[in-house]
A and B are shown apart, each in its own frame.
Chain A
Amino acid sequence: MSENDKSASVDSDPGLEWAKLWQTMAESSNRMVEAWSGSMAPFMLARLSEKPGGFGDGNELSAAIERMAQGPRLADFWDIDRKMALAFGAWIEMRQRLASYNAVAAAPWPEASKRFYETMSATASGGSPHPEWREAFAKWSEISNEELIRNQRTDGFLQAQKELLQAGLKLRSRQDDVAEAASAMLGLPTRKDFDDVTRQLTELRREVRTLARQIRDQKSEGAR
C-alpha cells in the first residue's frame, strides 16, 4: 500500500475523523475560555478599579455581563463560564442595591442629631444642669428610634429594601446555578435533586397517612 493509499485510508476512517474533530473542538473551547479570561476578566477588574463604589452611578457593567452571558447557549462547553459571568453580574448589581439601601437607611441620622442637639440646647438654655450620660443617652435613643422607625415606614425605604432583597436572591440563585453545575460535573447529587427527593417523600408520607386515617375510620365505624 502506497503512502497516498494509507493517507486516504486514515481520512476515510470515521473513528479517526471523529477524534480529529473532537480535538479541534476541545482546542477551540480552550481558546474561548482563554479569550474570556484574557479579555473579560481584565475588563471587569479595570471597571471595578474605576468605580470602586460598586457602580453606584448605574449598572452598566452588570447589564453588559447579563447581555454577554445571555447569548446563545452551547450544548457541551462554555456553560459553567456563562453561569459564573451571570453570578458576577448579579454580585455587582447586589453591591449597587446595597449602596442605595445604605444611603436610604442612613438618611434619618442627621435629623435625629439635629433634634437631639435642639433638645439638649433647650435644656441648657433653660438653666437646667447638664443631664447625666444615662439621661442624655435615653433621650438620644428615644429620638433616634422615632426617626429610624419613621424612615422605615416610607415608600423609599421599603422600595430600597425590596430591591436589595431581590438583588440578593438573584445573586444567591446564580451562585446556586454555579454550584449545581460543579456538582453535576463531579457526579454529585445537586440541591435540586435533594428537593426532588424530599418533595416525593413529603407527598408519599401524606398519601400513607391519609390511607392510615381512612383505614382507622373504617375500623372504628365497623366496630360501632
Chain B
Amino acid sequence: MSDQEDQTLRVARDMAANAEKMFKAAQLIANTRDEDVAIGTTPKHLVMRRDKVELFHYEPMAEATAKTPVLLAYGLIGRYTMADLQPDRSLVRSLLSKGLDLWLIDWGQPGRTERWLKIDDYVDDYIEAAVDRIAQETGHDKITLLGICEGGVFTTCYAALHPEKVKNLVITITPIDFHADVKDKAAHHGFLNLWTRSLDPDDIDKLVDTYGVLPGEFMSSVFSMMTPMRSLTKYNVDLIDVVDDEAKFMNFLRMEKWLADRPHHPGEAAKQWLKDLYQENRLVDGSFELSGCRVDLKSITAPVLNVFALDDHIIPPDCSRALGAKIGSTDYTEIPLPGGHVGLFVSSKSQGKLSQSIADWLVARDANPGSEA
C-alpha cells in the first residue's frame, strides 16, 4: 500500500471514529436531564434575604481552625457557583474542610427591576448588611472578606470605606488597575480592557439605557470572543475528547451550566464598572466615589492576601498586582498561581493550591489576636 493510500485510509478511519463519537455525545446529551447536572451543592442555609440578595451560612465540615467568619463575595458577572462547581472542584468545600467558617452572599438574578442599583448599593448596603448580620450571629466585631473578580473590587472598596469591620481582606483574580493590561505582552490577555476602552462612554450609557441592564448574553458573547477557537471547537472537538469518560463529560456539562447561568448586570452599576473603572481607571487613581465618599485604598489597614492567575486572559496579572503599592496595610501577601481566570477555581491541576494558600494565610492571622477589635 502506498503512502498516499495509507494516508487516505487513515483519514477515512478517523472521520468514521469521530462521527461515531459525535453521535454518542448527542445521545448522552439527549439522555441527560438538567437536574442530573448539579452545581453549587455544598450544604448551606439561608440566614438573611434583602431584596434579591441572600446571605447563606455553609455547614461546617471540620473542626474550626480559624474562628473569624469569612464572607465570600462573587461578582455580578457570573454566579458564585464557579467556586462550588462540583464536590472535587470546589473552593467552598475545600475551605470548609480546612476548618474555616464560611458565609456566602449571593446576588441572585438581577433584572430590569435592579436597573438603578449602583455599586454603592452593593458595597454600602448589601455587603454592609451581611457583615452586620454575621457580626450579630457570631459575636465577632470584624470579619474576613473573600472577594472573587468583581466581588474582589466590592470587598476592596468595603475594606477601604469600613476598615473598622474588616479583619482580613482576601481577593482573588481581582482587577485594581484597569489599565495595567498594556504592560502585558501576551496577545491573548486583556482584550476586555481594550474592547471597553474602544467604546465611547455614550455607547455604554445607551447599552444600559436600552436594555435596563448589561445583558448576561452580551457579556457571554464578549467572553467567547476572547477565546475564539475554543468557542468554535467546544461543541465538536472538545466533546469528542470527553465523550468516552463519563466523569469528564459531566464536568463539561457542569461548566456549561455555570456558563449558561450568566445573570444580567444591574444597569447603573454596569455604567460605573465599565466607565468609571474600565475606562477611567478611577479606583487606582483614588477618584472613585461610593455613597459620596472617595474610595481611598490607603485606608485599607487590614492584612491583605492577593491571589491571581498567571495566565488570566480576563484579568491580566498586572491589573491585580497593582493593589500592593496602593494600600495602607503593611501586611500584604501576593500569591501568583498557574492557570487561567476560571481554571484557578475549577481545573483539576489547581485544586487544593488555592484553598490551601488561603486557609494557611488566614489561620496564621487568626492566631494573631492583635487585630481583633
Does the CB pair A173–B210 fall under 8 Å?
yes
Which residue in chain A gives the minimum CB-CB distance to B14? A133
For the A-B complex, the count of residue pairs with Cβ-Cβ distances under 8 Å equals 78
Question: Which residues of B, 180-219, contact A by the 8 Å Cβ criterion?
Answer: 187-188, 191, 194-195, 198-200, 203, 206-207, 210-212
Which residue in chain A gives the minimum CB-CB distance to B117? A202
Kindly list chain A residues whose C-beta atoms are within 8 Å of the C-beta of B207.
165, 169
What's the interface size class on A, roughly? 20 to 34
In the complex, whether B113 has a CB less than 8 A from a CB of chain A is yes
Partner of B198, one of A130, A158, A172, A202: A158
Closest CB in chain B relative to A104 CB, distance in Å: 13
Known: A137-B237, A141-B229, A158-B194. A199 touches B116 (CB 8 A): yes
In terms of DSSP, what is the predominant structure of the interface of chain B? helix
Kindly list chain A residues whose C-beta atoms are within 8 Å of the C-beta of B10.
130, 132
Closest CB in chain A relative to B197 CB, distance in Å: 9
Does the CB pair B229–A198 fall under 8 Å?
no
Partner of B228, one of A132, A145, A162, A203: A145
In the complex, whether B360 has a CB less than 8 A from a CB of chain A is no
In the complex, whether B115 has a CB less than 8 A from a CB of chain A is yes
Does the CB pair A152–B210 fall under 8 Å?
no
In the complex, whether B7 has a CB less than 8 A from a CB of chain A is yes
In the complex, whether A149 has a CB less than 8 A from a CB of chain B is yes
Chain A window 122-152, contacts with chain B (Cβ cutoff 8 Å), 1 for yes, 0 for no: 0000000010110001000110111011101
Question: Which residues of B, 83-133, contact A by the 8 Å Cβ criterion?
Answer: 112-117, 121, 125
CA–CA, A141 to B188, complex, Å?
14
Does the CB pair A195–B112 fall under 8 Å?
yes
Chain B window 1-13, contacts with chain A (Cβ cutoff 8 Å), 1 for yes, 0 for no: 0000001001100
In the complex, whether A20 has a CB less than 8 A from a CB of chain B is no
In the complex, whether B41 has a CB less than 8 A from a CB of chain A is no
Does the CB pair B116–A148 fall under 8 Å?
no
Question: Which residues of A, 176-201, contact B by the 8 Å Cβ criterion?
Answer: 176, 191, 194-195, 198-199
Chain A window 188-224, contacts with chain B (Cβ cutoff 8 Å), 1 for yes, 0 for no: 0001001100110011011001000000000000000
Does the CB pair B210–A169 fall under 8 Å?
yes
Does the CB pair A209–B203 fall under 8 Å?
no
Does the CB pair A194–B203 fall under 8 Å?
no
In the complex, whether A6 has a CB less than 8 A from a CB of chain B is no
CA–CA, A206 to B332, complex, Å?
35
In the complex, whether B371 has a CB less than 8 A from a CB of chain A is no
In the complex, whether B62 has a CB less than 8 A from a CB of chain A is no
Does the CB pair A206–B191 fall under 8 Å?
no
Kindly list chain A residues whose C-beta atoms are within 8 Å of the C-beta of B114.
198
Does the CB pair A198–B113 fall under 8 Å?
yes
Which residue in chain A gives the minimum CB-CB distance to B233? A141
In the complex, whether B26 has a CB less than 8 A from a CB of chain A is no
In the complex, whether A24 has a CB less than 8 A from a CB of chain B is no
Does the CB pair B11–A133 fall under 8 Å?
yes
Kindly list chain B residues whose C-beta atoms are within 8 Å of the C-beta of A137.
237
Does the CB pair B188–A162 fall under 8 Å?
no
Which residue in chain B gives the minimum CB-CB distance to A172? B210
Known: A144-B229, A149-B228. A176 touches B210 (CB 8 A): yes
Question: Which residues of A, 148-178, contact B by the 8 Å Cβ criterion?
Answer: 148-150, 152-153, 158-159, 161-162, 165-166, 169, 172-173, 176
CA–CA, A152 to B115, complex, Å?
31
CA–CA, A148 to B229, complex, Å?
8
In the complex, whether B325 has a CB less than 8 A from a CB of chain A is no
CA–CA, A149 to B188, complex, Å?
6
Closest 3 CB pairs of A and B: A158-B198, A202-B116, A148-B228
- 11 contacts across the A-B interface (CB closer than 8 A): A130-B10, A133-B14, A133-B18, A149-B188, A150-B187, A152-B191, A158-B198, A172-B210, A191-B212, A194-B112, A206-B121
Binding site for A on B (CB under 8 A): 7, 10-11, 14, 18, 51, 112-117, 121, 125, 187-188, 191, 194-195, 198-200, 203, 206-207, 210-212, 225, 227-230, 233, 237
Question: Given A148-B228, A172-B211, A198-B113, list of 13 further CB < 8 A pairs?
Answer: A132-B14, A137-B237, A141-B229, A142-B229, A145-B188, A145-B228, A149-B228, A158-B195, A158-B198, A162-B203, A173-B210, A191-B112, A199-B116
